[in-house]
Amino acid sequence: VEFFTQLEGHLRTDAPRPTGRDPQAYRSYYAPVMHVVDGDLCDAFNALSHDEQIKIADRLDRTVGEIMKKLEDTRNSLL
């Protein structure tokens, strides 16, 4: 959970926002969302450019491959 929370935090600041709004404000528009990891935002890591992926991976002290593997494993275990 800590890994995904950190990844989500970095993506909130670095990932492009399709709606132009803060992802937390967008998700909490009707009801406050607390203690929930935004899976769509975490999955947006795959859509980033390689340079942006490397920048976020360095902040998390992991490689891009490790992050992608973790996302893929989590996605497949839930399906």
**Three-state SS annotation for the chain:** CHHHHHHHHHHHHHCCCCCCCCHHHHHCCCCCCCCCCCHHHHHHHHHCCHHHHHHHHHHCCCCHHHHHHHHHHHHHHHC
pLDDT at 13: 82
pLDDT at 55: 94
Mean pLDDT by 10 residues, the chain (79 residues): 89 74 64 74 90 94 96 86
Place of tokens 């450019």: 49
pTM across the whole model: 0.76
pLDDT at 16: 67
Place of tokens 């950190």: 6
Structural Rg of the chain based on CA atoms:
13
pLDDT at 38: 76
Residue closest to 46 by CA, chosen among 70, 22, 24, 26: 70
Q: Which two tokens stand for residue 19?
A: 């709606």
